[in-house]
Each structure stands twice: as structure tokens, then as C-alpha cells.
A and B are shown apart, each in its own frame.
Chain A
Amino acid sequence: MARTIVDEGRYDEAHLKEQTDMPLLVREDTGKFLRASEVPGVNVNADRPDHVFVMADADGGLRAAPGSLGARDGQHDETASIELDFDPQLAVDRTVSTTDGSVAVRSVWNRLREELATYTPEFVNEETGVGRETHQEIAREFAEADRGKIIHGKGVNDWYHNDLGNRAIQLLVTLTGHIGRQGTGLDHYVGQEKIWTYEGWSSLNAPVPSRSVPTTLWTYYHCDVLDNADAETTRRVREAIDEDWMPVYPAEREDGSRPDPRIMFIWRGNYFNQAKGNVAVEEQLWPKLDLVVDVNFRMDSSALYADIVLPSASHYEKHDLSMTDMHSYVHPFTPAVEPLGESKTDWQIFRELAAKIQELARERDDVEPVQDREFDREIDLESIHEDFVRDWESGEEGRLADDREACEYILEHSAETNPPESDEQITFEDTVEQPQRMRAVGDHWTSDLEEGEPYTPWKRYVQEKNPWPTFTGRQQYYVDHDWFLELGEELPTHKEPPTLQDKAEYPLNYNTPHGRWSIHSTWRDSEKMLRLQRGEPVVHLNPDDMEERGIEDGDTVRIYNDLGSVEVQAKRYPSGEPGTARMYFAWERFQFPDRGNFNSLVPLYMKPTQLVQYPEDTGEHLYFRPNYWGPTGVNSDVRVEVERVGGEGE
């Protein structure tokens, strides 16, 4: 589609010149962006000219690209601008006289065009099955629409090359300029990921520095996958950890050793069921743990495999706040009934744990404060409960003893619900009366909130011309990180999926998409819901694949690959692509004979490009932040074979 848009001249040229890295020059010898520091005579007013990029103007003169990281103050700098006072050329192929002598350079645009030339209609049809005309027709309609928007779910993210997929999809809105206005953009709907009241939440959650880790990497590391992975992946994962691009805990000790994790608290998740690489989690990680505590309102697989289950209140038994990036309102949870039995709200569970620790520490009277190894802070067990309930901002003791007050604290300390320089404040009571639209947006948003309009991101960059929070200060499709260059992924590109299982031995693709019969694993074993299904796990198979294997609807089948084997019921599914075994995910371990599950067939694997920091040294563009940048768990690109169980002769 991008090729059609470019070849047929349906792109938004002004947008590409002002808003994107397409005019930036790239050295042919190194594949790196040409930097202003390398070109004598480029007029640059910046602290870090080696972080300033170069474009060619209409007369062939070389110009510093406005908004480059080296010319602005950190990732976000509203005082800088990408507004142009010259006409940068998109198509550039020339030599430049640099401090290294004469160097051939090409613009990102020229490189992109070369990349896109691969994707002829024949190639697209061959790879995707989509018609030669059909995909071009969609491209034209999208490009010519007054406002175009792409909405996609999490499916792309299941695949190993999900970063390439997402970059390619995003490229369409960039090329067409469908971005930064109402009704445009790329909406990626994957759950409740962006917290509107981020400031209040993080002030409550982590008033002192805290340790977040990318769960995928943490699991990968502690399941000892590095011992078995290929040499190149191992090298890259180690480098990402050694360079501190991605954190792993427990932290490395001074002697270079890293202890195993010993205690696991599972809260608001069903880790033991939902982790990819389920076999490794059970066999490698679980034996390392001395104690597993599960805070849960369901008896799920993690609870069954935990040492201690702390029963918690469900959504309708407590005070809490609900927000999502799909709309701009805050909703309350209020208790319709009191928590059942011995269960307590999560806030009370953690508070009482802190109270007990404080009580025991005071009884002993010899517990010295512990200096944090990594952060400048002390942990004093004798005051840990007091610290828990203290309002850290005002110093008020005991304020945060109950859940509702914790909600109030979040609302109070967020610009969205308590804008500075304004009397408008949303209280918990207001949200009970009716859901409240956010009053404003904090710095972590990219547009203002406008009355009567849905929130639409990127306006600050597209309309107000602030630099984008990238290395180049522009929508950046060319990434000149060494790893991206080594892997040939400096631009979005098409790559074949990695082959993890032998295709001849395991002829079927196996995928585990989100189901609609549960919210992840929650309610997956609900009797009411199971009565509307088949009461047990099923795999959806195309009738042709069933016939070939002598399988009929309702038969028990074994799905297997080199990692594991699970028994489920076969379900006839004519809408499934031939050659695909689909098991909608989140069945609990205890729903399978032998306690395998849908993840037993899925290895732990991770794409190294998602472990980087960029720029390598300072990381303003890409750096680890939960839900923003880090490795995804990958669960497609898996192959299996399916056979009937209990067939004749067995």
C-alpha cells in the first residue's frame, strides 16, 4: 500500500518535509545519519552538533534539521520548533564533503523508495494472498480520504516481527498526512494501557524510586533461556542487560553475580497460566522460588500453584478508579456489596502486610534501616506501615489508610483531574455522581483536550510544530542504531518469520488470539460461560486439515510440537485459514489433562531490537518504560501438528 501511495504520488509532500525524517541525509558508507558535526560549514546552533541532522535545501545547500535532539533540551522541549524556513528536498542522492572526506549520501526518502520498490503487486499477492488490485484500491481510498484513520488490535503484536509490522502500518498515516487532526491517526487498541492520571498514580505507587522490569525479559532471563538460545540472541540480550538498556532484577551484586529471584507476589494477573514459555516457567523458574503469594479474587492456575492465596475483593466490592485510553472519562468503582468471606481489598491487603512487618520489626527492636543498593533511599521496616499510609506530598500521617482516600490522592495529584492554575478539581464524589471528563491534560499527552471533541494525539507536533520526542525530532522511520543496521531493519521492511519448528514435521501454524469468552483468563472457567461453549478447551481447525488427519468435530486431539503436547477437543471452523490451528487463549491449566495449557506449545522468545536504548548513549528516544518501550511476549510464529487421540489401533 505504501508503494502504491508513493509511486502514484498520493503522498502529502509538505507533511513529509516538515514532520518526518524523509529529507534527512544518510551516509552510504556507514548507514548512519549524516550529522552536522561532520559537515564543515553547516550552520548549527546546538550544544551537541553530533546529535543534529542534515537536510539539503532547494539550492543544494546543506542545512541543520530543526528539532534535532542535539539542538533541543532533552526529549521534550516545547521551546524548540520543527518549523521550516527553507524547502528541504525529499529526493537526494549526492556526495558531501565531510570531516572524513567526500562521502556519498542519500535521503531517507530515496532509501525508502528503494525499499518500497520490492513490494510489487505480484509480490504482495504472493506473500499475503490479497489481490493485486484490491490492496492498491484500498491504498488509494485511504490516501484520497479527507481524514483517514487506522484502528488495529493486538494481533500484529503476537508475531516476532511485530515492530516491523507496526512501523509499516504507521508509515501509511505518515505518508498520507493522516495524523495530528481529529479523525486521523493510528489507534492501537490493546487494553487499558495509558493511565490518564499518571502523575497521581505514580506518586502514590512509587513516591520513592522503584524497580520496574520488562516481564518478558525477566521471565526469559530467570527461565535460563540464555543457556539455550542461539549465540547471536544471547549476545544481544546480554549486551542490553550489561549496557543497562533494560533492567533485570534482582540486581547484579558487586562481585558480578546475580541472585535468583526467591519470592514472587502475583497481583492482578495469572502469571503462571499466561506466561509464554509455560513449560520453562514451570520447570526452570518455579523451583527457584521459595515462596509464591497470589493476591486474587479467583482461584486461578496461579492461585492453585501458589503457596499462599490472599483472597481479594473483586471490582464490585471496593473503591477504585477506572480509566482507559479509549476515552477521556474517569469512572469510579464503588462497592455494591462488602468483600465476601475473608477477602479484603488489595489496598488493605498490602497495607496490612506492611502493618504486620512494622509490628514484628518493632517487637524485635533491632532491625536497622536498610540502604537501598541502587537508589538513594532507606527502607526502615520499623516505620514501613506509617510510610505506607503517609501522604508523601503533604506529610499528613495516616491519610492513606483506606482505599477511597488513595483514589482521592490520585485525583488530587494529577493535572487531568486537578489542573494547576485552576479551581476545577474532580473529586471521587464527583465521579460517583457521574463519570467525569478529564479537565485538562498533563505533560505526558501530545495534544490538548478540546471541549466536545474526542482526544486526538500528536497535535502538539503536527499543528504546533513542537519537535517529536524522537532522536531526529521528527516522525522517524529510519533508525540508525547499530543493531537495526546489522539486522537490516533501519527502515520498516518485510521479513520472513523465524522458523522455530521444522515445517515438515509441524505443518500447521499455531496461534492463540484473545478470546471473546473471557477477559484474558478471568471467567475462562465460569460455569455460566462454559455452558455456552463446549465445556472444555477446543482448537479451531479448517475442515480440510481435519479431513486430511481423519479428525471429526468433537474428537479429542493432541496438539504437539518439540516443546510440549496438549489434549483438547477439535472444533470444525470453516473460516479458519487452511494450515492453521487456532486455540483462543487463556484456558486455565486445570482445564487440561496433565495440566498443560495453550502456552505449553509456545517458546519464550523475544526480539533483540526491542531491547535497545536509542541513541545508544543517552536514550532520549527509546528507553525502557513499562507499556511504552520494552520487549513484547511473542506467541505466534509457532508450528504444531495435530492428531486424533484414541483413533483406531490406539
Chain B
Amino acid sequence: MSTSDGGETIDIADDVDHQVAMVMDLNKCIGCQTCTIACKTNWTDGGGREYMYWNNVETKPGAGYPRDWEELGGGWDEEGDERTPGDLPAQEDYGAPWDFNHEQIMYEGSDEPLRPMDNAADWSPNWDEDEGAGEYPNSYYFYLPRICNHCTHPSCVEACPRSALYKREEDGIVLVDQDRCRGYRYCVEGCPYKKVYYNAMKKTSEKCIFCYPRIEGEGPDGEVRAPACAEDCPPQLRLVGYLDDEEGPIHKLVNEYEVAVRLHPEYRTEPNVYYIPPFAPPQHAADGETTDEDRIPREYLEELFGPAVNDALETIEREREKVNRGEDSEVMEMLTTTDTSDQYRLEVFDEA
């Protein structure tokens, strides 16, 4: 826990100096998967990681990746003291990293259609893309990009009997010490978001590293860069920085305005990835008129983001109206800035 000058407290883990955090504005996500591909080409393109998507984007409502991960348990009990048991996802629920018969078609004269080989295609990380729920014309869906939440109270860390998982002291990034890991997969079971993956080739578990080499300034010219999923995002829906940077937009959106909320807060791992909840156009009546009815049922959003989503939506609505009236709104400014020095504040705690 760190205390700000104003006496206000910002919850971060006891044993870390600072805590990296991200805010994702779901109203901007177009489901293009550029973040997914950016992450994959950087980190999980081979070596037993082919099936892994440290960053994935799933359609909600939907089964997600791995399939039905929300039903697999993990996290903490109501008091936050005891871990809740979790299950390992079955390999087929991740979907197989299909190989295709390009070679046969392009160069060996095959007349077969291009297909995943070995009849492997019956599920994939994005199989139910765009399906959602509801009925035309009032159907609904939105996209949910997910990475490791680098939780303040991570159940994966607690689950490891070898203490291979840890929160980095300097910034709270959750990492797997590859030398200590023996591949028991308790972390995979223990993470309720199913964001730790087992590498069967290396026999260790692996996960999102918040692109720490990038934020440490390992770019080609020694520059600091935000994680690839954030910087490569075409609509620039992610803000990246430190939760305890009181001048930054993340602290303001999360703690001050409370418009950025956690995914499944009831898992009690205290994620450091926050979401601006999605709005959708209202429903149409049978006669084609626009109504006042929410298209995305509020109960569904509460199910995902907890009761805090209600205040968040109302505050955003109010702030939008302010802008429509021509007034200033710090919230809307933070959410629509195109200034990368506001979007990505990763050097604020660097020693001068």
C-alpha cells in the first residue's frame, strides 16, 4: 500500500515499489486482433508456445479462450484468504495451432482445398467470434481483449509450491522464474483468468510478461516502449502506466472517477488491468423506432464487471453529456487523447 501526498491511499501489493497497470476502453475495440498478432509474433510464435495467446481478444457474450474459462475456478474465497480450487483447461479447449496444407497446394499440385491438417478444426481461440447473444435487430456483442492482469493479490503466485511465480519488486509484473518452475501447473489451475500456460516442450509454465524488456528500454535505440499489444492497437484503446502514478490517467480513471473497472472482481485477485465498460446503441422496437432500452443487458455487464459497472456507466454518460453541452470533461479527455505521452506513462518513476 502506498500513500500519496494527499493522504489518499492507492492499493498496491505490500512488497512492490510500484504497480504497472493498464486501462482498456472496450468502446474502441474493433476485434481486429492486431494486439493478438503483435503479442504472438513477439513472444509465442514457436518453441511449444504455438497454442498460447498471452493476449487474446474474445467476443462477449461467448465461451472465450480457453473455452469456458470463467467456469474453471481459481482465485480466492470471499475473505480473500483461502484459494478457491481451479481446474486445468483441457488442451482442446485452447484449440490447436493448426498447420495448413499450403505446401501441397502451392507446390505439389494438390487439388484439395486449403484446410487445417489432420482434421484439427473443431475449436479455436476465436471460434465463436461475433456470435454474441440476443435476436436481430437487438442482438449484441462486444470484444474483450485479455492479457495477464498482473494482479495485486495473485492466486497463481500463491499456488506455486516452488515459489517460481513472483511479483517483481520494482513494478509488480507477475513472472515465472523459468529456473525454479517444475511444470506442476498449479498456477494454471490457480489463475481464474487462465492466463498462465503450460509449455509442454519446455515443461515449464509461461505467461504474459507485460513486455518488460520494452518498458525497461530495450528498444533498438534504447527507448522505452509500452507493451506491443498497446502500441500496435489501431484504435489505441489501451492506456499504460503505473497505478500509483497519481498524475496519470490510470489512477484518475480507476480511483478518482471510478469509470475503469475490474473484470470479475469476485475472483478477488485484484487485477491491474481495468476496463472502460462498453456502451451499445439502444434497442429497436418492432416498428423500427429507437427505444430507451439497453441493448447489452445490465445484468450481463454486472456479471462481468461486478456492481461497480453501474456507477462507471452512469459517470461516463454524464461526462459525455458534458462534452455534448460544450463543457470540459477530464474523463473524456483522458479517454480520447491521442498524445502518446499521456497514453503511455512508463518513465515517471525513473531516477532523474
- Chain A interface (Cβ < 8 Å from any Cβ of B): 125, 128-134, 137, 299, 304, 516, 525, 527-536, 540, 542-543, 554, 571-578, 588, 590-593, 595
CB neighbours of B141 from chain A (8 A): 575
At the interface, is chain B mostly helix, strand, loop or mixed? loop
Inter-subunit contact A131/B288 (CB<8 Å): yes
- State the Cβ distance, A343 to closest chain B Cβ, in Å: 15
In the assembled complex, the Cα of A394 lies from the Cα of B50 at a distance in Å of: 55
In the assembled complex, the Cα of A373 lies from the Cα of B167 at a distance in Å of: 77
Inter-subunit contact A535/B106 (CB<8 Å): no
Report which of B100, B102, B134 forms a contact with A535, defined as CB distance below 8 A: B100
Inter-subunit contact A576/B30 (CB<8 Å): no
Inter-subunit contact A574/B131 (CB<8 Å): yes
In the assembled complex, the Cα of A588 lies from the Cα of B284 at a distance in Å of: 37
**Interface bits B269-299 vs A (CB < 8 Å: 1, else 0):** 0000000000000001101111000000000
Binding stretch for chain A, among B118-126, B257-265, B304-312: B118-126
CB neighbours of B129 from chain A (8 A): 532-533
Inter-subunit contact B102/A525 (CB<8 Å): yes
- State the Cβ distance, B68 to closest chain A Cβ, in Å: 16
Minimal Cβ-Cβ distance residue in A for B31: A516
Inter-subunit contact B290/A578 (CB<8 Å): no
CB neighbours of A543 from chain B (8 A): 135
Inter-subunit contact A132/B116 (CB<8 Å): no
In the assembled complex, the Cα of A595 lies from the Cα of B290 at a distance in Å of: 44
- State the Cβ distance, B286 to closest chain A Cβ, in Å: 10
- State the Cβ distance, B106 to closest chain A Cβ, in Å: 5
Inter-subunit contact B98/A574 (CB<8 Å): no
CB neighbours of B102 from chain A (8 A): 299, 525, 527
In the assembled complex, the Cα of A214 lies from the Cα of B333 at a distance in Å of: 46
Binding stretch for chain A, among B17-25, B33-41, B70-78, B237-245: B33-41
Minimal Cβ-Cβ distance residue in A for B53: A532
In the assembled complex, the Cα of A130 lies from the Cα of B281 at a distance in Å of: 14
Q: A131-B288, A299-B106 are in contact. List 20 more A-B contacts (CB 8 A).
A: A131-B284, A131-B285, A131-B287, A132-B287, A132-B289, A516-B30, A525-B102, A530-B98, A530-B116, A534-B127, A535-B98, A535-B116, A536-B115, A542-B136, A571-B131, A574-B134, A574-B135, A574-B139, A575-B130, A588-B114
In the assembled complex, the Cα of A129 lies from the Cα of B286 at a distance in Å of: 9
CB neighbours of B116 from chain A (8 A): 530, 535-536
Q: Confirm or deny: B86 has a beta carbon within 8 angstroms of a beta carbon on chain A.
A: no
In the assembled complex, the Cα of A529 lies from the Cα of B32 at a distance in Å of: 10
CB neighbours of B332 from chain A (8 A): none
Inter-subunit contact A134/B114 (CB<8 Å): no
Inter-subunit contact A593/B122 (CB<8 Å): no
Q: Confirm or deny: B133 has a beta carbon within 8 angstroms of a beta carbon on chain A.
A: yes
In the assembled complex, the Cα of A593 lies from the Cα of B112 at a distance in Å of: 6
In the assembled complex, the Cα of A129 lies from the Cα of B36 at a distance in Å of: 38
In the assembled complex, the Cα of A527 lies from the Cα of B46 at a distance in Å of: 13
CB neighbours of B89 from chain A (8 A): none
Inter-subunit contact B99/A527 (CB<8 Å): yes
- State the Cβ distance, A298 to closest chain B Cβ, in Å: 10
Minimal Cβ-Cβ distance residue in B for A537: B113
Q: Confirm or deny: B1 has a beta carbon within 8 angstroms of a beta carbon on chain A.
A: no
- State the Cβ distance, B295 to closest chain A Cβ, in Å: 11
Report which of A525, A535, A590, A593 forms a contact with B124, defined as CB distance below 8 A: A535
Inter-subunit contact A575/B105 (CB<8 Å): no
- State the Cβ distance, A380 to closest chain B Cβ, in Å: 39
In the assembled complex, the Cα of A137 lies from the Cα of B289 at a distance in Å of: 10
**Interface bits B119-159 vs A (CB < 8 Å: 1, else 0):** 00110111101111111110101000000000000000000
Inter-subunit contact B37/A528 (CB<8 Å): yes
Minimal Cβ-Cβ distance residue in A for B56: A532
